[in-house]
Amino acid sequence: DSGVTQTPKHLITATGQRVTLRCSPRSGDLSVYWYQQSLDQGLQFLIQYYNGEERAKGNILERFSAQQFPDLHSELNLSSLELGDSALYFCASSGLAGGGDTQYFGPGTRLTVL
């Protein structure tokens, strides 16, 4: 158990809808990262927050947004969903703002868009 929790575990929704994925980092970790992993695809970095502030941005679509709250949990909002958004979404946390730090991954949320 990495100490990172993600809810929900599974999510099935329809195209055009909006969903929110939630992540609670390990106790004491200030950085939260979001990744998307499609079938047979590598981990695609979406965005990183550090202590409530956006730290780095990857290939995140404009339809997606995220935030980190004062209690350090984070939410990833996906809107106007398309079939291609079906994927595993992972959240990871670490103690530092930048590199050289281990990332601890949550169990993921499996999103299915029908």
Partner 1 sequence: SQKIEQNSEALNIQEGKTATLTCNYTNYSPAYLQWYRQDPGRGPVFLLLIRENEKEKRKERLKVTFDTTLKQSLFHITASQPADSATYLCALGGGYQKVTFGTGTKLQVIP
Residues that bind partner 1 (CB under 8 A): 2, 4, 33, 35, 41-43, 45, 48, 55-56, 58, 88, 90, 92, 97-100, 102-108, 110
Quote the least distance from Cβ 68 to partner 1, whole Å.
Answer: 15
Provide the strand spans (E) within 14-63: 19-24, 31-37, 44-50, 53-57
- Smallest Cα–Cα separation from 72: which of 17, 28, 105, 6? 28
- Nearer to partner 1 among residue 70 and residue 100 (C-beta): 100
To partner 1, the closest distance from the beta carbon of 16 in angstroms equals 27
Which residue in this structure is represented by tokens 């993921």?
Answer: 108
- Decide: 4 and 95 in contact? Cβ < 8 Å: no
Q: Please report how close the Cβ of residue 100 comes to partner 1 at its closest, in angstroms.
A: 5
